Structure 1
Amino acid sequence: MELRQLEYFVAVAEEANFTRAAERVHISQSGISAQIRQLEHDLGATLIDRSSRTATLTSAGEAALVHARAALASADAMRQAVDEVNQLIRGRLVVGMVTACTVKPLFDALSAFHVAHPGIEITLTEDSSDRLVERVRAGAIDLALVGTATAPPEGLDAFPIISEGLVAAVPPGHPLAGRSRVTLAELGDHAIVCMPTGTGIRTVFDQACAAAGLRPDIALQASAPDAVADLAIRGLGVAVLSESMATDYRGRLTAVALDDVDIPAVLALVWKSPAGPALRELVQHTRRSFGDVQTAPAAVGG
Structure 2
Amino acid sequence: MELRQLKYFLAVAEEANFTRAAERVHISQPGISAQIRQLENDLGATLIDRSGRSAALTAVGEVAFEHARAVLAAAEALRHALDEMNGLVRGRLVVGMVTACTVTPLFEALSGFHRAHPGVEISLVEGDSAALVEDVREGTVDLALVGTAGPAPADLDGQQVISEAIVAAVPPGHPLAGEDGVTLAELSVHPVICLPRGTGIRAVLDQASAARGLTPTVALQAAAPGAVVQLAERGLGVAVLSASMLTQHPRLRTVPIIDADIAAVLSLVSAPTRSPALRELLVHCRESFGAPAHKAPAPAGRGAAGQVGP
**TM beyond 0.5:** yes
Are 1:265 and 2:273 counterparts? no
Output the CA distance in 1 between the equivalents of 2:217 and 2:125.
Answer: 31
Output the CA distance in 2 between the equivalents of 1:85 and 1:123.
Answer: 25
Output the CA distance in 1 between the equivalents of 2:124 and 2:87.
Answer: 19
Output the CA distance in 1 between the equivalents of 2:202 and 2:129.
Answer: 10
Tell me by how many angstroms 1:292 deviates: 3.1
Equivalent AA in structure 2 for residue 300 of structure 1: V
Output the CA distance in 1 between the equivalents of 2:76 and 2:90.
Answer: 21
Output the CA distance in 2 between the equivalents of 1:207 and 1:122.
Answer: 35
Evaluate the alpha carbon distance shift between residue 110 and residue 187 of structure 1 in structure 2; reply closer, same or farther with a 3 A threshold. Answer: same
User: Where do 1:127-206 residues align within 5 Å?
Assistant: 127-206=127-206
Are 1:252 and 2:260 counterparts? no
Output the aligned Cα RMSD. 2.2
Tell me by how many angstroms 1:103 deviates: 1.2
2:212 matched to which residue of 1? 212
Output the CA distance in 2 between the equivalents of 1:197 and 1:87.
Answer: 42
SS in 2 for 1:182: coil
Are 1:286 and 2:285 counterparts? yes
Tell me by how many angstroms 1:27 deviates: 6.7
Structure 1 stretches of 4+ moved >6 Å:
none
Output the CA distance in 2 between the equivalents of 1:221 and 1:208.
Answer: 18
Structure 2 unaligned spans of 5+: 1-61, 65-74, 294-302
Provide TM-score, normalisation by structure 1.
0.72
Per-residue deviation, residues 97-121 of structure 1 (Å, max 9, x unmatched): 0001111100001000000011111
Alignment identity in percent? 61
Tell me by how many angstroms 1:275 deviates: 3.6
How many positions carry a matched residue from both structures? Answer: 230
SS in 1 for 2:189: coil
Provide TM-score, normalisation by structure 2.
0.70
Evaluate the alpha carbon distance shift between residue 183 and residue 120 of structure 1 in structure 2; reply closer, same or farther with a 3 A threshold. Answer: same
SS in 2 for 1:175: coil
User: Where do 1:221-260 residues align within 5 Å?
Assistant: 221-249=221-249, 251-260=250-259
2:90–2:277 CA contact under 8 A, matched in 1 = no
2:10 matched to which residue of 1? none
1:39 matched to which residue of 2? none
Tell me by how many angstroms 1:89 deviates: 4.1
SS in 2 for 1:181: coil
1:96–1:141 CA contact under 8 A, matched in 2 = yes
2:204–2:264 CA contact under 8 A, matched in 1 = yes
SS in 1 for 2:268: strand
Equivalent AA in structure 2 for residue 284 of structure 1: V
1:105 matched to which residue of 2? 105
Evaluate the alpha carbon distance shift between residue 293 and residue 187 of structure 1 in structure 2; reply closer, same or farther with a 3 A threshold. Answer: same
Evaluate the alpha carbon distance shift between residue 78 and residue 90 of structure 1 in structure 2; reply closer, same or farther with a 3 A threshold. Answer: closer
Tell me by how many angstroms 1:180 deviates: 1.3
Tell me by how many angstroms 1:274 deviates: 1.8
2:100–2:309 CA contact under 8 A, matched in 1 = no
2:96 matched to which residue of 1? 96
2:6 matched to which residue of 1? none
Per-residue deviation, residues 251-298 of structure 1 (Å, max 9, x unmatched): 211111101110000000000012410000000101100113631655
Are 1:274 and 2:273 counterparts? yes
Are 1:300 and 2:308 counterparts? yes
2:18 matched to which residue of 1? none
SS in 2 for 1:147: strand
Structure 1 unaligned spans of 5+: 1-25, 29-74
2:11 matched to which residue of 1? none
Bigger drift between 80-89 and 99-108 goes to 80-89
Output the CA distance in 1 between the equivalents of 2:244 and 2:304.
Answer: 6
Equivalent AA in structure 2 for residue 257 of structure 1: P
